[in-house]
C-alpha cells in the first residue's frame, strides 16, 4: 500500500473513532447519484443514454470481473485452479491497461 493511501486511511479511521462523522447531514440516507455536474455538458446526453440502456463502460466491466476473480481466488485451494484463475486475472489486467 502506498504511504499516502495508508496515511489517508489512518486519518479517516481516527476521525471515525473520534465521532467526527456522527450527525452529518443526510446520514443514513441514500446518495443522490443523479447529479451530473461533474460530467462535461457535451457528454451528459450520451452518459444518460448509456445509463438508461444499462450499458456499462468497458473499464467498469473489466474492474468488476477482476474483483470477482480476486474474491474467488481467495477461496480456491487447488493449485491448478489457482494457476488458471491467476492467468485469467493477469489477462484481464492487461486488457484494462491497454486502453
Can you give the pLDDT of all 99 residues of the chain as single tens digits? 588 888 999 999 999 899 888 888 888 788 776 777 888 889 888 888 888 898 888 888 899 999 999 999 999 889 999 999 999 999 999 998 885
Its domain, for residue 77, covers 57-99
Residue 87 lies in a domain: yes
Q: Is residue 66 part of a domain?
A: yes
Quote the pTM value: 0.51
Within a domain: residue 49? no
Q: Is residue 16 part of a domain?
A: no
- Considering its fold, how many domains does the chain have in total? 1
Task: Label residue 37 exposed, middle or buried (CB < 10 Å: 0-12, 13-18, 19+).
Answer: exposed
Question: Could you give the CA distance from residue 51 to residue 60 in angstroms, rounded to a whole number?
Answer: 13
Residue 85 falls inside a structural domain: yes
Inside any domain, residue 86:
yes
Amino acid at each position: 500500500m502506498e504511504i499516502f493511501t495508508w496515511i489517508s486511511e489512518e486519518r479517516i479511521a481516527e476521525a471515525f473513532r473520534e465521532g467526527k462523522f456522527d450527525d452529518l447531514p443526510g446520514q443514513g440516507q441514500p446518495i443522490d447519484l443523479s447529479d451530473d455536474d461533474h460530467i462535461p455538458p457535451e457528454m451528459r446526453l450520451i452518459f444518460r443514454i448509456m445509463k438508461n440502456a444499462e450499458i456499462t463502460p468497458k473499464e467498469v466491466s473489466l474492474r468488476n470481473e477482476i474483483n470477482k476473480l480476486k474474491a474467488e481466488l481467495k477461496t480456491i485451494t487447488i493449485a491448478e485452479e489457482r494457476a488458471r484463475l491467476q492467468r485469467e486475472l493477469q489477462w484481464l489486467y492487461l486488457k484494462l491497461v491497454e486502453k
